[in-house]
Structure 1
């Protein structure tokens, strides 16, 4: 089928034309093409009524949506791609294939094949599309006194005759220290691979390739972190000083009990590393706001629900 025109419409149109009319041209105008009898396989050259080709429709399926572990590293300045670590290949949906089967009179129509069989299937992002950039900026920025000069405390110091050792400035949200993204490739995040890639691409666009660094782990960073596949994973050294650390992870909530490899002390250790580097720990969790791990109450971490319920105000809010 193409648009609103069915194969039955083609049959009726060809049955109504005068003898000698260009049936192939008429079929093309309706979005179909005719296959003459002499082009059919020998075993199908039967004078009986001919049916549509009964072969299964071909559906192009990409391989695992991630690349091989020995592919290029998604370091700064490069478009990010989630590396392979899942045991089960993940397939990308590429479109919808519609087939119409019918038995057609041999004198009216030989064999018909649709010209177009695929339609694109866009990925609906988890964050509201119009707010994604603002949510990323609000959630990952650090509040620092690097804005305009704060005149009120400066005037107070001068009026009291005190020396001014440092020019006071107003606090603003800034991304100048960069963001380190820790991408969870554990079993609980298999369903969110494309969402991870989408956010990673948007971060490069919004923050800039020189200020974003990507590392990968499975279930918890305590088992190793690296810029590529598992072969590159080592103990996590901690972030660069002052940077924000973003977790694209289910924080263990999506794993089955027998798959759980994380412990509360693992996340406490990660938070301690970020704190020592004077950074902030943020997590995008693909669960509702009321579903948070129990250990998060004792860890300095800001958790945002990775869904349409999150607003720009939620991303900018600080405890």
Structure 2
């Protein structure tokens, strides 16, 4: 009798375990649980210009804010360019002010003096020129009569030619001086003023360009976050586009999981999920489906078992919407689809 009772107990226990096992397996099959690793968006900090790093103001692990200075490049040449641009702007503006204000009395007097001096030079050369012309005519008659050598006649001709060249130069100087005086007395024309205004505008833009170039030698953080990597050292010469540092954005945390094609219909854009992290076993956090791949791929080897690696799956990116102050990049986590 005892033997039959023992057999009956064993049979009942087997039935109970079978039922519980079926329920457990069915529940596991129905549970939409997937594993992944929490990741964060990494932002490379890259200069637009190249140069030598003269100051590096960050360290790995440091928390920084948007606009904080990451590094400074050698800006000595940029400062020189800015000083030159500013000087050119001052000169252009001063010339425009002169045009708009008219010619000063001192300038008129100076131009009048130049005209008078040029005319005086002409007056001084005229008697000498006349005398040398008469001398050449007399020497020509003497040469024809045989009383003067050809060499002496040529010397007189050269002397007269030199004097004529001096007179013509003096005449040109007098004409130029008179033209400058006439223009000053009449005032500057509107096209001249407009041209100078354009020159001032160009100088202003040159200053702005130089200021922008100088500002680009100070490298600032594009976002708030944590310095994940410091990629260069102070004193190093870098090229444009070189990554100086990498910033991790803690406000943009996400997980990528892989869904079998058979269950893809259960996933919808914007759908909510529950996230559990090993660091917080008694808590769950909310997330939202942000991206669903449209192309199937083989399961990554580090995510599934060896038997399941040959199955095709779809990548699903989930944005973490809750617990960003607790969850950190690199934490393993489980995602339950709701």
Q: TM-score, normalised by structure 1?
A: 0.23
> Whose helix proportion is higher, 1 or 2?
2
* Greater RCO, CA 8 A, separation 6+: 2
Larger Rg: 2
Bigger fraction of residues in strand: 2
